[in-house]
Amino acid sequence: LTGTSREQRAFQYLLAHAIPGDPRHILQTFDQWCYHCEHLSCVGPDKGRIVERVLLERAPLRVLELGTYCGYGTVLLAQGLPPGARLYTIEGDPRHAAVAEKVIRLAGFSEQTVELIVGPSEEVIPCLREKHGLTKANLVFMDHWKRCYLRDLRLLESHQLLAEGATILADNVLFPGAPHFLQYAKTCGKYHCKVHRASLEY
């Protein structure tokens, strides 16, 4: 009725209630909106703790996120980066990217720390090295279309964008599910696989 999207309404709520420059409070305010107002397909606090644990264990200097959406996962990743690290995040939908850009900057992250790239992942990935300066990613967080997981992993491999010992963290591989990605990861011989059990968002 208002002509604004759910994502835009969530951002207006953030503007009214979140503390600018405080990433953790930004995420908590997002969670409040999603629990009590409207559901958004964000990572959420339960799975967010898994992401935070992986960041703490790995301390990656170059992180790639596929599927920025509203910027929730981006803020979650960025707040856990070690000093001097850089995060590249790709979003295919320009409307979502416009909201995410404002959320990321509201959380206090500059373009030197977080670069938001707008475009289809299959077009952006081959250009990451030449156009954006990403030589090797230490951590990849996949949270975009599940049907694209395997294609994009193979693109990252073929363009040699994965650092030795890189971690691939993929959301929702069981439900709604990415069976071909999961089968490849388990059987190709390149990866050690671990499934983290978690609840759905909110």
Q: Which residues are catalytic?
A: 143, 146, 171-172, 201
Query: Kindly report the CA angle at 136 between 135 and 137, in degrees rounded to 5?
Result: 130
Q: Closest Cα to residue 74, out of 55, 59, 58, 57? A: 55
Q: How far, in Å, are 25, 98, 122, 181, 189 from residue 93 at the CA level? A: 26, 9, 13, 23, 34
d(CA 142, CA 131): 21
| CA gap 193, 175 in Å, rounded | 17
107 contacts: CB under 8 Å, gap ≥ 6: 20, 21, 22, 23, 26, 71, 75, 78, 79
| Alpha-carbon Rg for the chain in angstroms | 16
Closest CA to 158 of 188, 119, 125, 191: 125
Count how many residues are written for the chain.
202
- CA-nearest of 35, 56, 41 to 169 is 56
